[in-house]
Amino acid sequence: MNLARSAETQTLVIGLAGGTGSGKTTVSEAVRRAAGPERVLILPQDAYYRAQSELPFAVRERTNYDEPSAFDTPLLIEQLDALLRGEAVARPVYDFARHDRAATTVHVTPRPVIVVEGILVLHDPALRERFTLRVFVDAPPDERFIRRLERDVRERGRSAQSVIEQYRRSVKPMHDLFVEPTKAHADLIIPEGGNNRVALEVLSAFVASFTERRSERATERRAGQREGAA
């Protein structure tokens, strides 16, 4: 846990990792509710898959999305640092139907709480050191597979057969090789994913406490400025 960095930037940065379909979105929503939606920015790692327009579609559709080299981590770090400096960024968008980065971007602005969410956000040391709190969301493999199947068919235009083939070819092996070991870097492990109400309450209390302290410090600074002006 890097509280010193949080105090320096006045931003709570949460690295939220875990296997595909583990319940990271549910945990992100718990953080959003605890701090207030207007105070939270969710920065999804899967928006930062590398552009690969130079490759034929037949090659792109066999992309291994579950290994560290699939991500443009330097860009993610660059944009996170900009947000921590108080600057807005043009966050990339990934087109999973085309297996390539989209031409459009999303304008995002700094918020008091930033959640960097994705399967491998705890893998890279340079990214990991920027987090105030590192969280790993755990869930049984069968539940994770079912959630991924439902999500990819519903949200990413995939066929069920292609999702099953990808899971056997790369998702399961890459989880064991790269994702599961990052659990060792977590400050907080949430077993049973979004179904673990106690763990969600602990995390929510931590986030709420941070935002309350931040608001109190801002009030004190404004009061000091008024006194100095008088």
> 25: annotated binding-site residue?
yes
Note the CATH number of domain 3-229.
3.40.50.300
151-177 b/e with 16+ CB inside 10 Å = b?
ebeeeeebeeeebeebbeebbbebbee
How would DSSP label each residue in 105-149?
EEEE---SEEEEESTTTTT-HHHHTT-SEEEEE---HHHHHHHHH
Give phi and psi for 140, each to the nearest 5. -60, 145
> 209: annotated binding-site residue?
no
> 224: annotated binding-site residue?
no
For the segment 151-201, what is each residue's pLDDT rounded down to a tens digit? 888 887 788 888 788 788 778 889 899 999 999 999 999 998 778 999 999
| Average pLDDT rounded to a whole number, residues 21-28 | 90
Cα separation, 34 vs 201, in Å, equals: 9
Counting residues of the chain whose pLDDT is more than 70, the rounded percentage is 91
* Structure-block tokens of residue 224: 């000091």
Cα separation, 67 vs 171, in Å, equals: 9
> 23: annotated binding-site residue?
yes
Per domain, the residue ranges of the chain are 3-229
Mean pLDDT of the chain: 89
* Structure-block tokens of residue 17: 């990792």
> 194: annotated binding-site residue?
no
> 15: annotated binding-site residue?
no
For the segment 26-51, what is each residue's pLDDT rounded down to a tens digit? 999 999 999 999 999 999 999 999 99
- Between the ranges 84-88, 168-172, 211-215, where is the mean pLDDT highest? 84-88
Query: What global pTM score does this model have?
Result: 0.85
> 63: annotated binding-site residue?
no
Positive or negative torsion for Cα 74, 80, 85, 91: positive
